[in-house]
């Protein structure tokens, strides 16, 4: 009895704050229902090992938060962060007043906006739960409450703060995507991830990232409703496709001479296109040197911002709200002539290699003790590469359009010592230029090159004078020996 009373004590503390007339006057009602809506997520995950790509990876775990919503289709689901359930092998959910954990599965996961939707295997879990309603974008300085299970606690925790800033910012989960982010000054700690941020009883965001105390304090970030709503709408068709992108580089047009040369009025409008990516939506529609004047009839200011719902936002926000195949209408000034160009949008795959990837098995090919891997962020995190060429290829992959010639950059990452290399000490990792005369544009090319009949296998690396030469006969004999010695179950995962 005593224990029960204590657990009821938690919501009874909330009406105190509800006396504050400025916010959350329904706090007591919500407070009582919250334990029925917010869940604690315990995950066992297995992070892929890009240093020994044949290994299954390190088994770890973590705790996050999530909450019950009505998913598209009317079913109850758990919304949480993608990073809470990335690489998950086993997921259990608990909530207060429920004695045992329930197993759950990832139904949809969006690494580009750090959101995931979980289904629960036993529908009994949802009995007595109250789905939370999605609200809107809160006003600056308005109060919000963050709910979740920070720092591994078993009991629901609440922190409060105000909305500090609403802006475009990086989503560190992928490390390459930027969307709308709301900064709040409520404490967000590990374990809060995926928990709801509420205002007036409605969800206004999902807590997802913060700073370590050494960098900044009282700074937490949440994923706002426009991003959540887009995620839910995208997956309502049965699969999650992801964001679309213009894939252009543009520059503000602030200086007076630039504006005069381009024949622009002194109206503070327009940005200059300085690059168009070949694989992006704008290719064939926009050109270097175009001045963008408006996007979907929103005038573009010279600093690249547009007005949307009476807020000044990055012009990318217009594209953010669109789905694969939807069209965008852009007014441009090209060679002094106004044009209106309409074209469909799609995502850009070439950025992905620069971002963190999850839920994937590392790809590799092992031949004659030589380990070949595609260059991407996961690879670089696991293998510190001193080679400047490798670093440059990674960083310039998109900016210098390297992907046009080489959709994939293959690296000879490691040489597993074996008698066939006994005189080859000092071999260094490098970018593979060609193998047996075949230019290498993907890992599949490596496989094809070694499948051709040959007396010798000749691997040429970028910028290195002497090729690596193996005798085919010896390499074929060495392959099973090397796999046995190093405990490698399979020589390749293409």
Partner 1 sequence: MKRFLPMLRLPLLVFLLIPMGCREKNTTPQKLAESVLRVTSTIQYPDNKRPWLKKQPFTRVGLGTIIEGGRLLVTADMVAHASYIALEKPEDGPKGTATVEAIDEECNLAILKPVEPELLKGTSPLPIDTMILPGSIIQILQLEPNGAPALSLANLTTVAVMPYSPDGGSYLLYRASTTIPQREGSFVIPALHEGKLAGLVMRYDPRTQSADIIPSLLIGRFMKECGKPGYSGLARAGLTDEEARGRTLREWLGAGKGLNGIIITSIDPNGPAEKAGLRKADLIVKAGGKPIDGQGNYTDPRLGKINFSNLATLESSPGDKWEIVYFRSVGEGTGTLGTATLTLEGRNPLTEISPARLQGDSVPYTFLGGLLFQELSRPYLQEWGANWRSDAPQNLVALDAFQKDLPKDQKRLVIVSLVLPSSQTIGLQELANKVVVNINGMPIHGLADVREAATHPKNGFQQIDLEGSAGPIYLDAATLPSEEARLSSEYGIPAKANP
397 to 436: interface string for partner 1, x by CB under 8 A = --xx-------------------xx-xxxxx---------
Choice from 76, 279, 298, 389 touching partner 1 (CB under 8 A): 389
Give which of 374, 463, 451 is closest to 410, Cα–Cα: 374
**Helix/strand/coil percentages in the chain, nearest 5:** 20, 35, 40
Angle at 298 between CA 261 and CA 318, to 5 degrees: 110
* Contact status: 452 vs partner 1 (CB under 8 A): no
Choice from 474, 476, 477, 491 touching partner 1 (CB under 8 A): 474
CA distance linking residue 112 with residue 171, whole number of Å: 8
Q: Name 432's Cβ contacts closer than 8 Å, sequence gap at least 6.
A: 372, 410, 411, 412, 440, 446, 459, 460, 461, 462
* Contact status: 4 vs partner 1 (CB under 8 A): no
Helix H or strand E segment including 70: strand 58-70
Give which of 80, 87, 42, 61 is closest to 358, Cα–Cα: 87
Per CB under 8 A, contacts with partner 1 among 281-310 are 288-289
CB 403 within 8 A of CB 279: yes
* Contact status: 215 vs partner 1 (CB under 8 A): no
| Segment near partner 1 (CB under 8 A); pick from 105-113, 247-255, 309-317, 369-377 | 247-255
Choice from 467, 476, 483, 491 touching partner 1 (CB under 8 A): 467
Sign of the torsion angle spanned by Cα atoms 466, 467, 471, 475: positive
CA distance linking residue 437 with residue 434, whole number of Å: 6
* Contact status: 255 vs partner 1 (CB under 8 A): yes
Q: Nearest distance from residue 347's CB to partner 1, in Å?
A: 20
Q: Nearest distance from residue 456's CB to partner 1, in Å?
A: 5
Q: Nearest distance from residue 249's CB to partner 1, in Å?
A: 4
Give the single-character DSSP code of 123.
Answer: G
* Contact status: 263 vs partner 1 (CB under 8 A): no
Give which of 414, 359, 427 is closest to 383, Cα–Cα: 414
How many residues are recorded in the chain? 494
Choice from 7, 312, 392, 485 touching partner 1 (CB under 8 A): 392
Q: Which two structure tokens, joined as six digits, stand for 55?
A: 């290994």
Give the single-character DSSP code of 269.
Answer: B
> H helices of 41-180, where?
82-85
User: Is residue 193 flagged as an active site residue?
Assistant: yes
Q: Which of 37, 45, 83, 282 is catalytic?
A: 83
CA distance linking residue 26 with residue 18, whole number of Å: 7
Burial annotation 317-330 (CB, 10 A radius, 16+ → b, else e): bbbbbbeeeeebeb
Choice from 82, 272, 353, 443 touching partner 1 (CB under 8 A): 272
Closer residue to partner 1 (CB): 188 or 301: 301
Q: Which of 193, 247, 294, 302 is catalytic?
A: 193
* Contact status: 265 vs partner 1 (CB under 8 A): no
Closer residue to partner 1 (CB): 128 or 463: 463
* Contact status: 6 vs partner 1 (CB under 8 A): no
User: Is residue 114 flagged as an active site residue?
Assistant: yes
Number of residues lying near partner 1 (CB under 8 A): 45
* Contact status: 252 vs partner 1 (CB under 8 A): yes
Residues in contact with partner 1 by the rule CB under 8 A: 249, 251-258, 260-262, 272-275, 288-289, 388-389, 391-392, 395, 399-400, 420-421, 423-427, 455-456, 458, 463-471, 474
Active site residues: 83, 114, 193
């Amino acid at each position: 009895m005593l224990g029960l009373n204590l657990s009821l004590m938690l919501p009874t503390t909330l009406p105190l704050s509800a006396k504050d007339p400025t916010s959350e006057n329904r706090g007591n009602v919500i407070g009582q229902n919250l334990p029925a809506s917010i869940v604690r997520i315990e995950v066992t995950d297995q992070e892929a090992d890009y240093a020994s790509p044949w290994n299954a990876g390190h088994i770890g775990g973590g705790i996050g938060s999530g909450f019950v919503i009505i998913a598209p289709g009317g079913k109850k689901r758990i919304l949480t962060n993608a990073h809470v359930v990335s690489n998950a092998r086993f997921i259990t959910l608990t909530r207060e007043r429920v004695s045992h954990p329930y197993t759950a599965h990832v139904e949809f996961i969006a690494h580009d906006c750090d959101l995931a939707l979980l289904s629960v295997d036993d529908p009994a879990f949802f009995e007595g739960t109250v789905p939370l309603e999605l609200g809107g974008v809160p006003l600056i300085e308005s109060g919000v409450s963050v709910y979740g299970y920070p720092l591994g606690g078993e009991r629901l925790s609440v922190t409060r703060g105000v909305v500090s800033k609403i802006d475009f910012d990086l989503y560190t989960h992928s490390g390459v995507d930027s969307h709308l982010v709301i900064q709040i000054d409520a404490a967000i700690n590990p374990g809060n991830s995926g928990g709801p941020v509420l205002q007036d009883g409605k969800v206004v965001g999902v807590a997802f990232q913060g700073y370590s105390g050494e960098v900044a304090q009282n700074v937490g970030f949440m994923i706002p409703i426009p991003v959540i709503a887009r995620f839910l709408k995208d997956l309502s068709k049965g699969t999650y496709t992801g964001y679309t992108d213009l894939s252009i580089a543009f520059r503000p047009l602030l200086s007076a001479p630039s504006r005069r040369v381009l024949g622009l009025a002194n109206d503070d409008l327009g940005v200059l296109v300085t690059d168009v990516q070949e694989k992006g939506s704008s290719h064939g529609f926009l050109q270097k040197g175009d001045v963008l004047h408006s996007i979907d009839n929103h005038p573009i200011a010279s600093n690249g911002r547009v007005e949307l719902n009476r807020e000044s936002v990055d012009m990318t926000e217009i594209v953010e709200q669109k789905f694969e195949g939807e069209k965008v209408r852009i007014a441009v000034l090209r060679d002094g002539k106004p044009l209106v160009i309409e074209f469909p949008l799609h995502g850009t795959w070439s950025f992905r290699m620069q971002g963190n990837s999850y839920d994937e098995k590392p790809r590799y090919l092992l031949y004659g003790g030589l380990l070949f891997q595609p260059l991407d962020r996961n690879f670089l995190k696991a293998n510190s590469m001193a080679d400047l060429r490798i670093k440059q290829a990674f960083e310039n992959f998109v900016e210098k359009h390297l992907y046009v010639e080489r959709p994939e950059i293959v690296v000879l990452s490691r040489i597993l010592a074996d008698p066939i290399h006994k005189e080859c000490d000092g071999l260094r990792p490098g970018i593979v230029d060609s193998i047996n005369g075949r230019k290498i544009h993907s890992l599949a090319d490596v496989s094809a090159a070694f499948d051709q009949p040959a007396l010798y296998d000749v691997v040429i690396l970028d910028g290195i004078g002497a090729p690596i030469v193996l005798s085919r006969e010896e390499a074929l004999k060495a392959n099973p020996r090397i796999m046995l010695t190093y405990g490698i179950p399979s020589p390749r995962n293409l």
